[in-house]
Amino acid sequence: MLHGKKLAKQVLLPSVLEDDDAETESGKPQLGEQRMSQTEVDMRGPKDQHSSPDRNVLDEGTRQGEEGGEEEELEVEDSLSSEDDYDTDLELQGKKEAYDPTGQTCYVKACKMFQVVPVSYFLKHMQNSELALMHRGLGPQGTKALAVPLVTNTSILQLNLRDNWMEGMGGAAIAEMLKENCYITEVDLSNNNLEDYGATAIAGMLKENSTLVSLSLSGNHFTDRSAEHLGPALITNTKLQHLNLSYNALGERAGEHLGVALSENTGLRSINLAWNCIRGRGAAMLANGLGENVFLRAVDLSYNGFGKDGAGALGQALKENNVLEELNISNNRIPPEGAIHLAMGLRVNKTIKSLNIGRNPILNAGCYGILKSIRDNPDSALEAVDFSDITVSQDFEDLYTAVKEIFPALRVNHGGRIGTFSKAKACKVLL
């Protein structure tokens, strides 16, 4: 017969048990021990189990020790037929237990262990393919309890845990769960204050998980230290296709690590790095990584600090990259000179379909240069160019009219024509 502590180690997540070792040593019953006492023997049989689900499992353990061998074997066989059993394929005296793939019983016991209130919505929707538990205030302990049944859950494919303040420990519990669960393909852990500790755990998971396709980690206070771990994980992982790291605090060094990772990554199809602090050398290295990547289709770099040098590196990347289709570099402090570098890349690029360079100080000269490069590239695939909040001149409008004749499907958005507002104001005064 397996010892209770050993069983707990098999079923519960290592990170979940980590904080409770002291309690185990002091003799406090653990979740695994409670499960073992229920599984081995129940003196009252299946009918009594249904009638009093809140029985004291410690008293059961005491009564177990007082009974003989034959009675114990009979009780084990009876308990295997009980609907309350939930263990996963654990062999017990030559018998295999039926288990609950959703883990409802396991979750209730885990909540009791971690002293949190079970989430009724989770209990009701465990068999759904999509589970959305946003803004529930789970916290670290509630997240640990949630992770326990998810290890063996076979129904949930999409898991949304956005904004639950799970912190690093909760994030680590979810990461450990995802190492074992081979059904979940989409996970949203945005706005959970995971910080660098959680990022390290997520990176470790990505090195082992071969099922996850989409992962959102937006707004988790990740820093350059997070990128030190996430970068190598992205090189190892070949299954993840969509990654969101927006609204973090990734800086120059993060750009360097991620640039190296993207140059070797073979799985990602889209990455969102918006609203970070990537600039300088990090921006240039990230752009170089994009130039060498032959799988990415969509990249969002908006609200960073690429500036002139970063834009120059992106221009070179557009010359080399022959797969990228969408690029957002709005709000990156790119001057007119940077826009000209980008235009040189667009002059030879054959795949980019959507370019957003709005809210940059590129002025009319930068807009004109980019539009002219499109006209000079007969193989251009551009369908949409966004110059939001940038005013243009009449010369730009005339050029756009000419370009539309060559590329009728091209749509250009800008912040209005220079002089339009002053003329409208004058008309209003005259009226």
* Shared domain check, 118 and 61: no
Range of the domain at 66: 4-99
Give the residue carrying structure tokens 């237990």.
Answer: 97
Total domains in the chain come to 2
CA 97 to CA 86: how far, in whole Å? 8
State the pLDDT at residue 281.
Answer: 96
Angle among Cα 414, 418, 422 to the nearest 5 degrees reads 125
* Shared domain check, 269 and 167: yes
Please say which residue of 44, 74, 99 terminates a domain.
99
10: amino acid identity, one letter: Q
Q: What is the pLDDT of residues 208-232, one digit of tens each?
A: 999 999 999 999 999 999 999 999 9
Q: Distance of CA 411 to CAs 139, 178, 273, 354, 387, Å?
A: 46, 43, 25, 10, 11
CATH number, domain at 167?
A: 3.80.10.10
Neighbours of 50 (CB within 10 A): 12
Q: Give the residue from 222, 356, 337, 342 showing the smallest Cα distance to 278.
A: 222
C-alpha 359 chain-centroid distance? 28
Please say which residue of 62, 77, 99 terminates a domain.
99
* Shared domain check, 34 and 133: no
Q: With the CA atoms of 81, 87, 89 and 90 taken in that order, what torsion angle do they form, in degrees rounded to the nearest 10? A: -100
190 backbone φψ class: left, alpha, beta (φ>0; ψ -120 to 50): beta
State the pLDDT at residue 55.
Answer: 35
* Shared domain check, 235 and 89: no
Q: With the CA atoms of 116, 121, 50 and 110 taken in that order, what torsion angle do they form, in degrees rounded to the nearest 10? A: -30
* Shared domain check, 91 and 110: no
> Which of helix, strand or coil describes residue 208?
coil
Please say which residue of 99, 115, 131 terminates a domain.
99
> Which of helix, strand or coil describes residue 300?
strand
> Tokens standing for 403?
């370009």
* Shared domain check, 289 and 200: yes
CA 298 to CA 300: how far, in whole Å? 7
> Which of helix, strand or coil describes residue 48?
helix
**H or E segment and range at residue 244:** strand 242-244
State the pLDDT at residue 50.
Answer: 36
* Shared domain check, 231 and 159: yes
State the pLDDT at residue 103.
Answer: 83
pLDDT in tens, the chain (431 residues): 334 333 344 445 554 555 544 443 433 333 333 333 333 333 333 333 333 334 333 343 434 444 444 444 434 334 333 434 433 333 334 444 456 666 889 999 999 999 999 999 999 999 999 999 999 999 999 999 999 999 999 999 999 999 999 999 999 999 999 999 999 999 999 999 999 999 999 999 999 999 999 999 999 999 999 999 999 999 999 999 999 999 999 999 999 999 999 999 999 999 999 999 999 999 999 999 999 999 999 999 999 999 999 999 999 999 999 999 999 999 999 999 999 999 999 999 999 999 999 999 999 999 999 999 999 999 999 999 999 999 999 999 999 999 999 999 999 999 998 865 444 443 343 44
State the pLDDT at residue 99.
Answer: 61
State the pLDDT at residue 418.
Answer: 81
State the pLDDT at residue 297.
Answer: 98
* Shared domain check, 206 and 62: no
* Shared domain check, 178 and 56: no
* Shared domain check, 199 and 332: yes
* Shared domain check, 345 and 274: yes
* Shared domain check, 272 and 368: yes
CB 251 within 8 A of CB 277: yes
Q: Give the residue from 83, 119, 124 showing the smallest Cα distance to 100.
A: 83
State the pLDDT at residue 400.
Answer: 97
